[in-house]
Structure 1
Amino acid sequence: GEIKLPGMANAFYRERVDQHLRIGMRAIELLRRHRLDQLHSRKLRSFAEVAFQ
């Protein structure tokens, strides 16, 4: 199958990518506002930590 409306499909894809990038940037902004000692999830690791021990 060929995509029937390639322009619309491309626009939809670009919009979704843009939406995901905005969500990620907003999450980074929120994390920057909080002090590191307030992040209490055990699932969060620093970049220096080994992922699997």
Structure 2
Amino acid sequence: MAGGELESWLVANPGHPEAAEVRTKLDSHRRFWLRGHRGVLGFAYLTLGPIADGAA
């Protein structure tokens, strides 16, 4: 299951025996994305497109 599907499952099944484990896994994954997966290099977008005629 993807993250969004697990979030939906967790909302629908808060008392399930595996809910605590799923919540811990989702929290860890979210923390990784929000605070650390980019590291020192940061994040950048690169947009590529055609060069207009006459431009050098």
Note whether the superposition's TM-score is higher than 0.5: no
Q: Tell me the TM-score normalized by structure 1.
A: 0.40
Q: Indicate the structure with greater helix content.
A: 1
